[in-house]
Amino acid sequence: MTAESYSAFYIRRLHSLLGIIPIGVFFCEHVLTNSLAFFEGPEKFNQAVLFLQGLPFVRFLEIFLIGIPILLHAVLGLIIWWNSRCNPQEYGYMRNWLHFLQRWTGIAALVFIVVHVWGMRISWTFHSEIDHVDFAYVSQVFSHSLLIPFYVIGVACSSFHFANGLWNFLITWGIAVGERSQRNLLALCGIVGIVVFCGFMFSLAAFVAPGA
């Protein structure tokens, strides 16, 4: 291996690892916390947010375990994309299509996350009377009805990106080796993606129509 291909190898491995640890772990925690709004009600959601915001070194964790890893994964993803070719029509296999979609849903996730984090995490910090978000705040954000289709599409792309990314991760790291185990794990990751998408959609319904 040349020095250049060594660094390309490690860049891809770092990119892959970041997609699951810590980003994928945060993603799963995030759907669980938000879906409390639907399954347990506003009070439980508020308690969960308070608990998370009360964690020691929470700002440090937000920056170093969420913000920087997402930024690094996004930048490395764009570099990998720039440096390699992906043309599904040329081959036509399902894997090529999944790879093609993996890349485009990464871009969609980037747009979604920028808008979402601005609205839910950054914009209110300029108002000194708000200490942290709660159910009422999130519900009021969704009074802008155009945000609802934006969220449905953004969450669908992010859930696909996570689920198919998880499957790629299992292959990249040698966990899914044989053809049969790869096929079974593809089905399992598909189920994970659907569950995560539904969890976010239930939470969206709770915020959009509180008390319904």
Q: How far apart are CA 20 and CA 161, in angstroms?
A: 11
Q: Is 117 in the site for ligand HEM (CB under 6 A)?
A: yes
Q: Is 134 in the site for ligand HEM (CB under 6 A)?
A: no
Size of the residue set binding ligand HEM (CB under 6 A): 48
Provide, rounded to whole angstroms, the least separation between the CB of residue 24 and ligand HEM: 5
Q: Is 162 in the site for ligand HEM (CB under 6 A)?
A: yes
Residues whose CB falls within 8 Å of the CB of residue 183, separated by 6 or more in sequence, listed in order: none
Site string for ligand HEM, 75-104 (x = CB under 6 A): --xx-xx--------------------xx-
Q: Is 204 in the site for ligand HEM (CB under 6 A)?
A: yes
Angle between helices 94-117 and 147-172 (to 10 degrees): 130
Interface pick for ligand HEM out of 8, 52, 115, 188 (rule CB under 6 A): 52
What three-state secondary structure class fits 143?
A: coil
Q: Is 27 in the site for ligand HEM (CB under 6 A)?
A: yes
Q: How far apart are CA 140 and CA 171, in angstroms?
A: 42
Pair 165, 17: CB distance under 8 Å: no
* CA geometry: angle 85, 160, 208, nearest 5 deg: 140
Residue with tokens 């399954």: 39
Provide, rounded to whole angstroms, the least separation between the CB of residue 179 and ligand HEM: 18
Q: Is 46 in the site for ligand HEM (CB under 6 A)?
A: no
* CA geometry: angle 106, 112, 114, nearest 5 deg: 105
Q: How far apart are CA 162 and CA 157, in angstroms?
A: 9
Q: Is 20 in the site for ligand HEM (CB under 6 A)?
A: yes
Chain residues binding ligand HEM by CB under 6 A are 16, 19-20, 23-24, 27, 30, 34, 49, 52-53, 62, 66, 70, 73-74, 77-78, 80-81, 102-103, 106-107, 109-110, 113, 116-117, 120-121, 132-133, 138, 151, 155, 158, 161-162, 165-166, 168-169, 172, 200, 203-204, 207
